Amino acid sequence: MDTSSVLSGLNETQKAAVLHRGAPLLILAGAGSGKTRVITIKIAHLIAQGVDPRSILAVTFTNKAANEMRERAAQLHPGASQAMIRTFHSFGAWLLRRNAAAVGLPREFSIYDDDDQVSLLGTLYPQYTKQVVKGYARAISRAKDFGLTPEDDLSPVGSDSEFPQIYRTYTDNLRKIGNVDFGDLILLPQQLLAGNAAIGGRIRDRFRIVLVDEYQDSNIAQYKLLQSLTDSYSYVCVVGDDDQSIYRFRGAEVRNIIDFPEHFPGTDIVRLEQNYRSTGSILQVAHAVVSRNQGRLGKQLWTENPDGSPPVIAHLFDQDQEVEYCTEVLMQGSPGETAILYRTNAQSRAFETAFLRGGIPYRIVGTLRFYEREEVKDAIALLRFTANPRDPISLARIINKPARGIGKKSVEKILERAGDGDLLQAMRAAIPHLTTRSGGAVEKCRGMLQDIIGDLGAGKHELLSDLLHAALMASGLWQYHREQDEVAGLQKIQNLEELENAAGMYPATTDGLIEFLEAIELDSGAQQDAGEDAVTLITMHNTKGLEFDRVIITGMDEGIFPRESDLDPDSLEEERRLFYVAVTRARKELHMTTTRMRRVHGRIVDTSPSRFLYEIPRDLVEFAGAYSPGHGSPAGGSFGSPGGSPAGSDPAAADNSPYPRGCGVYHDDYGSGRVVRSDIKDGELVVLVQFETGRTARFLPAYSPLERISIDD
């Protein structure tokens, strides 16, 4: 095969990466620089130059990526179909099945998934709750990500003194059964290659060329496996981007790629810096932020594409205006080529609600729609029962969640006694017919539900968000969902907090609860065919590998993105890399939104722009929104007051406000209400209004006019 025509289509650095041989090679491939093309052409070119395709091992992280690499390489050279192109785990399974006896496994071993792990641990430790068992299963997986056995120092995983013995018992029983889990597919092959000279030598002799894609996503165990797969005679080439390492929560270790030249002495580095995706102005914004990271090898993307329109920073009043702004941007082009990005899944709710009501087609990538998520449905069931204690469907969902020792038969006996429909009375009537344990659990649950209903009737809480939060805590649902694994638990709590934010717009009254539940039903019940011209709603993490003509990065507020204001240096650098990934998804147009106020736990709080926005030179961007006249300091109050110190609020300065406390006002969207407070904040008048509907909202009259009206006392 003549590869000259293929090589002629590469730029000079791409060609250098393809033609390189000899020393270990690190290809630093920036976003949109054509790295998949380079690695597939490299495989085909090696074969065209006489390399035995069976001596080539190429590994990546997903089946989709491995299949794409295999297909593209085979299109370039038919011999590439004989190369081994797999995921890390698939290669590990292949190696173990061919050498099963050497590690004490039957060749027909099964691979346990996460649920299987939990089930096995549950049988070994029946005294522990399922949540505790899940925690130990996660810790075992984490230990294997570090390449640690039960006999190693397990301090990187945690300080639980019982964990080493639990890990040892689990491992011993898994071996007795003759199965492995996913962590074993990396750990056991590494131990086999390092500890068995004959097998290790044979495998290294076969695979003289080892290529690794997306190396920035590798964990410590995978790095150790790579070391065990190679020796001084191997040709090792890894491809990745240290600026796109964003999966530390999954065990990825960015130091693997940064320290590759130290791990493999004599390494040559080729930087793919020409970007074929984005405009020049978008790339400048990405570089301005990520270049502040200390833990990077360094590169700067450039492009022959036009500079295009400057990215826009829109500083808006609140998340309602944020949704309005995004909707306006959508109307200026094709929604199907637009993606709205956010840091957490919970942030999708406001967009889903607005788009459903506005008839705007949308698709959510990587997760369920907001009101279809388990924890949200649990919370809504709790509210529905609070509103209507005759609702058997809602009771059945929450009565034994979290587990209280109330089985299906007990629930059936309760429902049998719901003569007049009152399920609280039915619970009490069923207790004498239950076991002592079940009866006690039912009585305790009944008391909890009665207290929540009583709090609603007594007006104990001002806002419905307060009632909801108290109910989630009292029912145990908050803690139940929080105690999922580190990532899923955080996401579930964020979703519950977002539901509280939605509830915060309603008073904690029976009418307020009914109105809220009705709004949820209308939103969750609305169905639409997303179609081809649908806007994409997606978290920043899920955008990796995707691209869109227009990208809107929302929620650029401190505490949201970055998600905490006091992150440790490593976490902050990963958040900055996540921003870089988000920005470089955009081909032609980039918008970033931040708000002056947001609902947090159902209440309006002041917010400040993300520090990342202040890291962008102001001459690289344009500003939109009422609060973006300039570019300030994150330590300052207003986004538009350069270098200022916090201005704070000044109620005294508002004494002459045209909207004094107690006066009546009218707003087109909210209706009639009464002013609760007027403040001067950062030199601008802020008015807090309690509306007749029970909703409370803040306004800057300079930008959102309020009409003075007379309200009878």
Q: Are 51 and 78 in contact (CB under 8 A)?
A: no
> DSSP for 24-60?
-EEEEE-TTS-HHHHHHHHHHHHHHTT--GGGEEEEE
Task: Pull the structure tokens for residue 389.
Answer: 């204690």
Q: Is the peptide bond before 562 cis (omega within 30 degrees of 0)?
A: yes
Tell me what percent of the chain is helix, strand and coil, each rounded to the nearest 5: 50, 15, 35
Q: Are strands 684-691 and 671-681 parallel, antiparallel or unpaired?
A: antiparallel
Tokens representing 341 are: 């990005």
For 59, the token pair is: 């590994």
Any binding-site annotation on 279? no
CA pair distance 503, 380, nearest whole angstrom: 11
36 is catalytic: yes
Helices marked H in 558-654 — which ranges? 569-583, 611-614
31 is in an annotated binding site: yes
Cβ–Cβ under 8 Å, residues 586 and 624: no
- Cα–Cα distance measured from residue 448 to residue 452, given in angstroms and rounded to the nearest whole number: 6
| Closest listed residue to residue 133, CA positions, set 114, 149, 153 | 114
Is 588 annotated as catalytic?
Answer: no
Catalytic residue selected from 87, 171, 244, 593? 244
If one counts every other C-beta atom within 10 angstroms of the C-beta of residue 589, the result is: 24
CA–CA dist 592, 642 (Å, integer) = 19
C-alpha torsion angle, residues 629, 634, 636, 642 (rounded to 10): -40
Residue 324 has phi, psi (to 5 degrees) of -60, -40
Q: Is 36 annotated as a binding residue?
A: yes
| Structural element, H or E, at residue 210 | strand 209-212
Q: Is 298 left (phi over 0), alpha (psi -120 to 50) or beta?
A: left
Closest by Cα among 269, 263, 251, 260 to 88: 251
Active-site pick, 184, 213, 557, 574: 213
Cα 269 to Cα 293: distance, rounded to the nearest angstrom: 20
List the catalytic residue out of 13, 36, 40, 536. 36
Q: Name the nearest CA neighbour of 612 among 577, 638, 643.
A: 577
Catalytic residue list contains 214? yes
Give the active site residue among 214, 242, 498, 500. Answer: 214
For residues 672 and 20, give the distance between their C-alpha atoms in angstroms, rounded to a whole number: 72
Shortest CA distance to 352 belongs to which of 519, 512, 578, 487? 519
**What one-character DSSP code corresponds to residue 535?**
E
- Is 244 assigned a catalytic role? yes
Set 15, 35, 72, 492: catalytic member: 35
Catalytic status, residue 585? yes
The CA distances from residue 666 to 506, 507, 589, in Å, are: 18, 19, 38
What one-character-per-residue DSSP string does 396-443 give? HHHTTSS--S--HHHHHHHHHT-SSS-HHHHHHHHGGGS-HHHHHHHH
For tokens 């190396």, the residue is 215
Phi-psi region of 267 (alpha: psi -120 to 50; beta: other; left: phi over 0): beta
Calpha distance 677→655 (Å, rounded): 10
| 584 within 8 A of 281, measured Cβ to Cβ | no
Instruction: Verify whether residue 82 is a known catalytic residue.
Output: no
Cα gap 30→537, rounded to integer Å: 24
The DSSP code for 302 is B
29 is annotated as contributing to ligand binding: yes
Q: Where are the beta strands (DSSP E) in 301-428?
A: 312-316, 338-342, 362-364
33 is in an annotated binding site: yes
- The radius of gyration of the chain's CA atoms, rounded to the nearest angstrom, is 29
Of 70, 492, 585, 611, the catalytic one is: 585
Q: How far apart are CA 223 and CA 246, in angstroms?
A: 17
Q: Report d(CA 170, CA 121) in Å as an integer.
A: 7
Check the annotation: does 379 bind a ligand.
no
Catalytic residues, which ones? 35-36, 213-214, 244, 585
Binding residues for ATP: 29-36
Binding residues: 29-36
